[in-house]
Amino acid sequence: MAKNYLNHIDGKWVPSIAGKTFKDTNPADWNEVIGIFPESGPEDIERAVQAAENAYESWRLTPPPTRGEIILKAGLLLKQNKERLARLMTREMGKVLKETRGDVQEAIDMAYYVAGEGRRLFGQTTTSELKNKFAMSVRMPVGVCGLITPWNFPVAIPSWKVFPALICGNTLVFKPAEDTPASASEFVEILRQAGLPPGVLNLVHGGPKTGEALVHHPRFRLISFTGSCEVGRLVGEHCGRTLKRCSLEMGGKNAQIVMADADLNLALEGAVWGAFGTTGQRCTATSRVYIERKVYDSFCRALVRRAKNIHIGNGLKPRTEMGPLINESQRERVHSYVSSGIEEGAHLECGGGFAQGAGLKRGYFYQPTVFTHVDPKMKIIREEIFGPVVCLMPVKDVEDAIRQVNDTAYGLSTSIYSRDVNHAMRAIRDLEAGITYVNGPTIGAEVHLPFGGVKNTGNGHREAGQTALDIFSEWKSVFIDYSGKLQKAQIDAD
């Protein structure tokens, strides 16, 4: 019997007002229903916003160290429940168990990091141009914030938004992806158990119409969105018209450079992990690899060999290295890109179709796919595929590699493998991306550093690290004049 889940509004688990529901199924076995969830409408968003507004004044005035203690307790509860949450997440979105454990660990790390900010939240003290006057800046909360998160990191990415927003004193309405609502419900329940007051964090389930209702609600002060560029543009357009603050974290077309002087075995491991980890369903996944011509042929052969031997299956099984895609529409999308690459003349070295075999018939499995002889104008090299598809291209030297890596509309994550410090420093300086790894894959961000990109990847904000506080707080400048007389800044004295 599938579990019936509810929205969480004003500290209570409640059904949607209209009573509509949807099913959440296992992408490795579509016959398994994880749960039944409320399909929420504008009236549910209104109810959640009202609860968040009612809770705001008290939460805003709660001392930040006290807020931090609640977040720390949530981190400890996440740690206690790590295995249970990881197994639920694998059933819900398909990635292998070691990766879902890592997803929960990222949320634990974020909780610990943000909890410490409760005793920091530093501003600046500075000098004044006038006598007997003191000047400083302090962080203030934004207000009621709307959060929309994707399905590929259903605990980690909510933690990137929820914990910094809470420590800054905001109240929240959170809409998770409809493909991973159970993980989100468990995340919110842990915060409830940690002592978060009613109304501070409200959870509203649903699909695109629910997200649209959230974005268009007039009383949000801020919208934080992680997802596709297509939807992100719509979110940004609306926020621009209504002057809502807006944080957008969107797609990537990430690239790894392999120089001839690199540790080629290490570079191979990085490319395989970057391309096929999470079945390629990461915004930081490696979808392009540029290889110096001297080692191109041998590196291609080795990577194709590895790709052919990846064990595909249910992520709960110990032998499984790569799970399914998230749903049927995503599998069709990936397959359409593969078909486009073949039609445009790229060489399909391996993969290119639905994975077959025992235990794979009722899941959205796809073969690890490798292309060579890819023209820079092809769709498979220009557009984000979000699946286990990687393109391999030869380059003349490091300058040629950097030029080709930068020839994209995106700019999230990049990587270079080389033993030459000069190559590494040129890459750090010249790659147009928010993240650059040296001798590491394009995936593997850490929570205490800024996460985000340039170009079409986002709108300039960064999640994680101290920069997340800049999304969820406003700066206030404070001037204290103790001269006992009217002093006029920038006005010449008589």
DSSP 280: G
Cα(52)–Cα(305) distance, integer angstroms: 53
3 state DSSP class of 64: helix
3 state DSSP class of 190: helix
DSSP 355: -
Q: CB 149: neighbour CB atoms within 10 A?
A: 28
Place of tokens 């999308």: 333
Torsion from C-alpha of 454, 338, 360, 95, nearest 10 degrees? -10
The residue from 92, 106, 178, 249 that is catalytic is 249
In terms of DSSP bridges, do strands 286-292 and 389-395 run parallel, antiparallel, or are they unpaired?
parallel
* Number of alpha carbons in the 13 Å side-chain half-sphere of residue 19: 0
3 state DSSP class of 30: strand
Cα(177)–Cα(227) distance, integer angstroms: 9
Phi-psi region of 177 (alpha: psi -120 to 50; beta: other; left: phi over 0): beta
Per-residue b/e over 374-409, b at no fewer than 16 CB within 10 Å? Answer: beeebebbebbbbbbbbbbbbbeebeebbebbeebe
Is 46 one of the annotated active-site residues of the chain? no
Token digits of residue 428: 């750090």
Q: CB 332: neighbour CB atoms within 10 A?
A: 11
Alpha carbon distances (Å) from 485 to 94, 131, 441: 68, 11, 61
Residues 98, 127 contacting (CB under 8 angstroms): no
Q: Residue 244: name the closest of 134, 110, 379, 143 by CA.
A: 143
The residue from 283, 349, 384, 391 that is catalytic is 283
Is 350 one of the annotated active-site residues of the chain? no
Q: CB 62: neighbour CB atoms within 10 A?
A: 16
Active-site positions? 249, 283
